Amino acid sequence: MRSKIVAGNWKMNNNSKETKTLVKGIRKSIKKLPLENTRVLVAPTFVNLMSAIKRIKKSKVEVVAQNMHQENNGAFTGEVSADMLKSIGVKSVIIGHSERRSLFGETDEVLALKVTKAINEGLEVIFCFGEQLEDRKSNNHFTVVKNQLEKGLFHIEANAWSQIVLAYEPVWAIGTGETASPEQAQEMHAFIRNLLQEKYHTSVADNTSILYGGSVKPSNAEEIFSKQDVDGGLIGGASLNVKDFTDIIKAI
């Protein structure tokens, strides 16, 4: 059975003190929630991973990284390897976020290498993808998403899918306040699940969690999460506030 997941992507927010306060707050506020088959993830910046990990011990919160490099080590100034993440206890990593693609030039080809590396290192990958506004306006959103998955992800073997979580994030809905309607999210998630069945197997399609991301907030989370193929959310802005993030977790 696939898990329900609420993941907070903190992006380039929170200094050391703010990270500690936020982790402590989330840890406390979800302590008594019945989180059966539901995972709660937070993704601080690299510098704050270690302190976050220290503070989630014996709690239901998991700490994930926002990115990693595809090589083992070497002359890659400013980069962080899978081994470095693992050595401090990180078990999952976000790969392919739209900001990495658009602001830092990460191509499908580079993302495919990162995915391979993370899988081989035993890390779980939260793979992000999604269309631009013009793709949707021109009715190309299904083609764009299919392409991103084929180029970045579909090279992996069926048995590696237990290490993959998908996050559909339409770029036009990220940080804009504009959310895909629950119907638009469901339509795309069902399309993706169907692709997994065609390319791999029913078991891969049934067991892979597909998250929605893009302006999820307490006021719209429940309706989006109620859709059959939406298994949770990747939350940006609203994950920086304990109450909002907790309310979104409650919605699932």
Which are the catalytic amino acids? 97, 169
Closest distance of CB 80 from ligand 13P, Å: 18
Pairwise CA distance, residues 146 & 126, whole Å: 17
Residue closer to ligand 13P (CB basis): 205 or 225: 225
Residue closer to ligand 13P (CB basis): 42 or 85: 42
The DSSP H or E segment spanning 93 is strand 92-95
Residue from 6, 9, 192, 204 touching ligand 13P (CB under 6 A): that is 9
175 sits near ligand 13P (criterion: CB under 6 A) = yes
Instruction: List 124's β-bridge partners, or say none.
Output: 92
Pairwise CA distance, residues 4 & 251, whole Å: 11
174 sits near ligand 13P (criterion: CB under 6 A) = yes
Residue closer to ligand 13P (CB basis): 204 or 239: 239
131 sits near ligand 13P (criterion: CB under 6 A) = no
φ, ψ of residue 95 to 5 degrees: the values are -130, 135
Closest distance of CB 159 from ligand 13P, Å: 27
Residue closer to ligand 13P (CB basis): 48 or 204: 48
Token duo for residue 91: 């078990």
The DSSP H or E segment spanning 8 is strand 4-9
Residue closer to ligand 13P (CB basis): 88 or 240: 240
Closest distance of CB 157 from ligand 13P, Å: 27
Pairwise CA distance, residues 143 & 138, whole Å: 11
Select from 34-42, 69-77, 111-119, 207-215 the region that touches ligand 13P (CB under 6 A). 207-215
215 sits near ligand 13P (criterion: CB under 6 A) = yes
Q: Each residue of 117-156: b (16+ CB within 10 Å) or e?
A: bbbebebbbbbbbbbbeebbeeeebbebbbebbeebbeeb
3-state secondary structure of 201: coil
> Taking CB under 6 A as the criterion, which residues in 217-236 touch ligand 13P?
234-236
**Chain positions contacting ligand 13P, by CB under 6 A:** 9, 97, 169, 174-175, 213-216, 234-238
